[in-house]
Amino acid sequence: MAMKLYHFEACPYCEKVRSTLKRMDLRYESVEIDPSDRALVKAVSGQEKVPVLADGDAVIHDSTRILRYLVRTYGGGRFLPDEAHSRGLMWILEEYVDEVLIPLLHRTGRNVDENGKALDEAGRAALKAEAAHQYESLEQLLSSDGFALANRVTLGDIALYACLSRLELYSPRGIPSDYPRIRAWYTRMKA
């Protein structure tokens, strides 16, 4: 029985899982949900967030847990750095994208605070400065000609690319032009 992925297009966490499944050459049935109707996701997984992966008896929610499951079950070792130190950093990067970068870029696009409340001018400037700081860090991380933590694509790159690709789709600005190394890496990932 094919795996089923419950997801929707604009969701960066879903894009990370779609992209990992694709790179691992794993086939799945796509169940695209309406973001405003969580009934099916709730019935399948007992909670309302996507992505959710159903594989036989296993039903997994949370994109990081899904990635760990896929690597463990289907042998995705080639998407992990060989060296232990880099491997640890890769999972830290993966978590950082979910917990820091995605929420921050989401807020930056809408100019709201953590609770969704519209920001005043000072709040918008602070948010912009925070986003610039994160872009600077990524610019440094991606300063080599290879990928984030190895000379090949790992799950860290896939997570980051998934996040920034949603930005490219839904923000007129995309990745700011003053970060050439991020943009060069992005082009390498797209190839």
Ligand X SMILES: N[C@@H](CCC(=O)N[C@@H](CS)C(=O)NCC(=O)O)C(=O)O
Q: Residue numbers of the site for ligand X (CB under 6 A)?
A: 11, 13, 48-51, 62-64, 98
Least distance between ligand X and beta carbon 13 (Å): 4
Sheet containing strand 28-32, edge to edge, reads 28-32, 3-7, 52-55, 58-61
Cβ closer to ligand X: 49 or 183?
49
Answer yes or no: are the C-beta atoms of 17 and 53 closer than 8 Å.
yes
- Alpha carbon distance 107, 36 (integer Å): 19
Rg (CA), the chain: 17
Residue 67 C-beta: closest distance to ligand X, Å: 9
DSSP track, 19-77: HHHHHTT--EEEEEPPTT--HHHHHHHSS--S-EEEETTEEEESHHHHHHHHHHHHT-G
Nearest approach, Cβ of residue 120 and ligand X (Å): 25
Closest CB 16 distance from ligand X, rounded Å: 8
Compare residues 13 and 185 and give the one whose CB is closer to ligand X: 13
Q: At its nearest, how many Å lie between ligand X and the CB of residue 124? A: 23
Q: For residues 38 and 188, which CB has a smaller minimum distance to ligand X in the complex?
A: 38
Q: Which two tokens stand for residue 16?
A: 């990370």
Q: Which is nearer to ligand X, 19 or 64 (CB)?
A: 64
Q: Structure tokens of 105?
A: 């870029």
Which of 125/163 has CB closer to ligand X? 163
